[in-house]
Structure 1
Amino acid sequence: MFVCVCVWLIIVIIIMSCSAVTLSVATVLSVIAVACLAIGFSTDNWYEIRVDTNRTRQYLDAINNDGGGGSLPSDYDSNYLYYSRDEGLFRVCFADKKPKELSTYLSPTQTECFNIDYYIPENKESDSFTDTRWERLHMARSVVALYIMAFFFIILSFFTGVAGCWKRSHANLVSTGLLQLFSSLMDAGAMGLWHAVQFYDHHKLKDEYSYAAWPDVLKQPGVTEFYYGWSYIIAWIGISQLLVASIMFLSAARCIRSEKRLEQTKNMQYLMPVYPDKRSPYGLNYAYAYPGPYTYHGSQYGMGPYAY
């Protein structure tokens, strides 16, 4: 489905590459892309973790008393791993209930959340991290840094885009397209690093903060399920739209340059060189209409010109 949408968008771009509405469509796509990226960046539904409470209790009862209704673990009410939650770039928010002893606050979306610790500044706890944990931490920090840098370049592209549309400047539109292309690549790189962070948590890390340290009951089939949330999907939509907008800006810049060259070629046909011409405008020689210099041949009385 995503491939079909991309192919359709590329066809539309090719058809509209020299259309008068190309710049307008590119501008609208840029605004929508920035809105999607801002929403995805600030919300917390990137990774949805759903824990089935009933199955968790059944597995725990079976483990403790061979299926006979035993007691729950002592940290069942305080460990957030036993609760359904949504993970974002900055917060972890609980979908239904929250642990009793965990300190949380109310997020802008009216959910109970706690912040993700990026260890800035570093403390005694981070001093005990392994090299693999440090790699994971640096990648998580880079995700946020790449998004912020991408937003910075998008803001610059808006200034060059306004100047390019107003002046119909080829250079400004090329700068706008390249800045947005660079921003979309940076956002895509941030998404790739985010996936790498998830891979480290589930497969490479074996410390107390990773998936390997989760209670065994949560690893049972059907107890814990993982989904990509709507914030993650909106972020990808924003990246794809920003990429399409950058291509459209570059196409519009090429079209404007071609139109200007065509106008210059047409104007050159009406520019005739004017050279000074001393000749008669009709090409006639009037010298034969008047006799040349007179020659005195003497008088009829035979006297010279000075005879008296």
Structure 2
Amino acid sequence: MRLDIAGTRGEHEGDAEGTRMTDATSRTIDVPGAVLTYDVRPGSDADTTPLVMVASPMAAAGFATLAGYLTDRTVVTYDPRQSERSKLTTDVEPNPEIHADDIHRVVQAAVGPGPVDVLASSGGAVNMLAFVAAHPDRVRTLVAHEPPLVSALPDRETAFAAVHDVRNTYERDGLGPGMAKFLALVMHSGEIPADWADRPAPDPAQFGLPTEDDGSRDDPMLGRGHMVNTTGYEPDYAAISAAQTRVVLAYGIESEGLITHRATVSVADALGVEPTRFPSDHGGFLGGEYGQTGDPDAFVARLREVLDN
């Protein structure tokens, strides 16, 4: 399983072979508590609805390959307030409502008040569900790709206990042990056992993670409440259902049985829609960014099919 969150912890690697990138203009915007950096890639067809692509905590760099396939559309990407080029100016822990407000300000600055389509992946999908509830007429189609909403799972209590165990391990022992527990959790298929937190801790070395604690606690995934605030968020399903936005809950076929797949299905059920299958896995759109490669050719074909439907 490839994860966008891994992309926040290393250098991204160029575009996939065969893709073509347009020049991106990078800009900044001051928002309450942060200075955000976002990118705009003008499309060749001015009449095509702009496409906004968001994740969290993965930054704009993770969408470089995908943007190279979509040169007909104006594409907007951004770095969430805890990631890469964006800078925090407050100690307040971000939550999906704060991120949703950030995205709204970025979109307004980038393309104005007109309708947009959105591909939102992982934590970005959670944030965009909050966005749609708050701005019901702003998005034409939202493709919410694998939102990790533990709050929607039938085994939410044991799953959320496991999330807290990951956070507690990180705060106590540092990045390696915390991320090793995180990876073991998101790679687990099926419901989370009640004794999950009591099981032997995985060895960070088996994942290529550091075994020594460097004392830092600023990892975008495990720090600043991101994981707990994202997975525990309770969407306003009634407001989302009443919005003008067509919401597509999407999951990668290689993610079946994992938390992100099960959460996607549960959210789709809560909204009364059928989940939609996409190629590859949680990072199916990646083409070498952060050292990860999904199946971007097939992913973009499926994305176009869904957006044009």
Identify the TM-score tier after normalising by the shorter chain.
Answer: under 0.3
Structure with greater contact order relative to length (CA < 8 Å, sep ≥ 6): 1
Compare the two structures and name the one with the higher helix fraction: 1
After TM superposition, the score normalised by the length of structure 1 is 0.23
After TM superposition, the score normalised by the length of structure 2 is 0.23
Compare the two structures and name the one with the higher strand fraction: 2
